[in-house]
């Protein structure tokens, strides 16, 4: 909290100074307040080695696209005062039970107040006993191919009107760990559908969404199943996919 307060003060004075300079040069321009994104990466089960690379990637996307990224693995940060600093909270491959009842309530109120949520990869392997979260994230993890988990797969791009998919063609072929899902929320808008005929180990059949979005309980939610490996976060197309999801959550046009 102390570091965040200092950061906010620094940014306030920087923007204040910048606004004064801008006003002197061109009174028609105004300083733009920074948009803060919180990346939550706590794990209570399996921990993906790609978490650190994922956080690093989102930080870089923020530096290049006008939003500020902070990271936490402290569940106590899920309180009304702290969450109020952020327009978006990203669950970066979180696993199992990472929030207690009080923290869950604070996050529900954050979303109901217009906050945004983004889940990456194992975010669906989180909070199985919290039905509200299951609906927010859009589904729960239900296993993945055994033996060699990471494999090539083809993805049908169903919608290119969303900023997370606008750069893609009709088929996106890439390598990752492909999750199967249960308790799929029928009210989400599916962006990408995994072609189970392109790899072994799928259990959802023809309806196998792997990325989706929706407005839920007053806020926004975006999820993508990619991001198991470090290499995923080096892919320009996957980086653009993540950026588009973030910008949609922030209400910013690319």
User: Quick one: average pLDDT of 171-192?
Assistant: 98
Contact criterion met (CB below 8 Å) for 206 and 183: no
What domain count does the chain have?
A: 1
Report yes or no on 62 lying in a domain.
yes
Residues 6+ apart with CB under 8 A from 37: 58, 62, 67, 68, 69, 70, 86, 87, 88, 89, 90, 246, 250
CA–CA dist 102, 108 (Å, integer): 10
pLDDT digits (tens, 9 = 90+) for 210-244: 999 999 999 999 999 999 999 999 999 999 999 99
CA–CA dist 250, 35 (Å, integer): 8
Measure the CA angle with vertex 38, ends 77 and 179; round to 5°: 105
CATH of residue 94's domain is 3.40.50.880
User: Quick one: average pLDDT of 164-176?
Assistant: 98
The domain of 199 spans: 35-140+149-250
pLDDT digits (tens, 9 = 90+) for 19-60: 444 444 443 345 677 899 999 999 999 999 999 999 999 999
Please report the pLDDT score of residue 187 as a whole number.
Answer: 98
Report yes or no on 5 lying in a domain.
no
Report yes or no on 1 lying in a domain.
no
CA–CA dist 58, 55 (Å, integer): 5
Q: What is the DSSP letter of 117?
A: E
pTM of the full predicted structure? Answer: 0.88
The phi, psi pair for 57, rounded to 5°, reads: -65, -45
pLDDT digits (tens, 9 = 90+) for 124-157: 999 999 999 999 999 999 999 876 689 999 999 9
Using DSSP's 3-state secondary structure scheme, residue 67 falls into strand
Lookup result for tokens 């033996």: 147
**For all residues of the chain together, what is the average pLDDT?**
90
Report yes or no on 95 lying in a domain.
yes
How many DSSP H helices and E strands does the chain contain? 6, 11
Contact criterion met (CB below 8 Å) for 35 and 68: yes
**Region class of 127: left (phi > 0), else alpha (psi between -120 and 50), else beta:** left
User: Quick one: average pLDDT of 245-250?
Assistant: 98
Lookup result for tokens 């989180």: 126
Report yes or no on 201 lying in a domain.
yes
**Region class of 235: left (phi > 0), else alpha (psi between -120 and 50), else beta:** beta
Q: Measured between alpha carbons, how far is residue 101 from residues 7, 75, 105, 124 in Å?
A: 29, 11, 6, 18
Using DSSP's 3-state secondary structure scheme, residue 110 falls into helix
* 186 CB-side CA count, 13 A: 0
Report yes or no on 15 lying in a domain.
no
Report yes or no on 105 lying in a domain.
yes
Please report the pLDDT score of residue 2 as a whole number.
Answer: 41
CA–CA dist 19, 216 (Å, integer): 36
Report yes or no on 12 lying in a domain.
no
């Amino acid at each position: 909290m102390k570091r965040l307060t200092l950061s906010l003060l620094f940014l306030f004075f920087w923007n204040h100074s910048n606004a004064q300079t801008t006003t002197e040069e061109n009174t028609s321009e105004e300083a733009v307040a920074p948009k803060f994104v919180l990346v939550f990466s706590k794990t209570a089960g399996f921990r993906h080695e790609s978490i650190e690379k994922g956080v690093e990637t989102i930080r870089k996307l923020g530096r290049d696209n006008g939003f500020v990224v902070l990271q936490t693995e402290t569940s106590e940060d899920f309180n009304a005062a702290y969450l109020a600093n952020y327009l978006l909270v990203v669950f970066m491959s979180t696993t199992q039970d990472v929030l207690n009842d009080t923290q869950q309530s604070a996050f529900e109120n954050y979303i109901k107040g217009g906050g945004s949520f983004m889940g990456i990869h194992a975010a669906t392997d989180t909070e199985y006993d919290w039905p509200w979260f299951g609906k927010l994230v859009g589904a729960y993890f239900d296993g993945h191919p055994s033996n060699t988990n990471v494999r090539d797969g083809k993805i049908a791009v169903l919608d290119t009107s969303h900023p997370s998919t606008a750069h893609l063609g009709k088929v996106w072929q890439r390598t990752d760990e492909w999750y199967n899902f249960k308790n799929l929320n029928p009210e989400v808008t599916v962006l990408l559908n995994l072609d189970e005929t392109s790899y072994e180990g799928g259990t959802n059949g023809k309806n196998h969404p792997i990325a989706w979005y929706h407005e839920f309980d007053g806020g926004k939610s975006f999820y993508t199943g990619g991001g198991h490996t470090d290499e995923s976060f080096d892919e320009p197309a996957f980086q653009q996919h993540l950026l588009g999801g973030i910008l949609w959550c922030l209400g910013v046009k690319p």
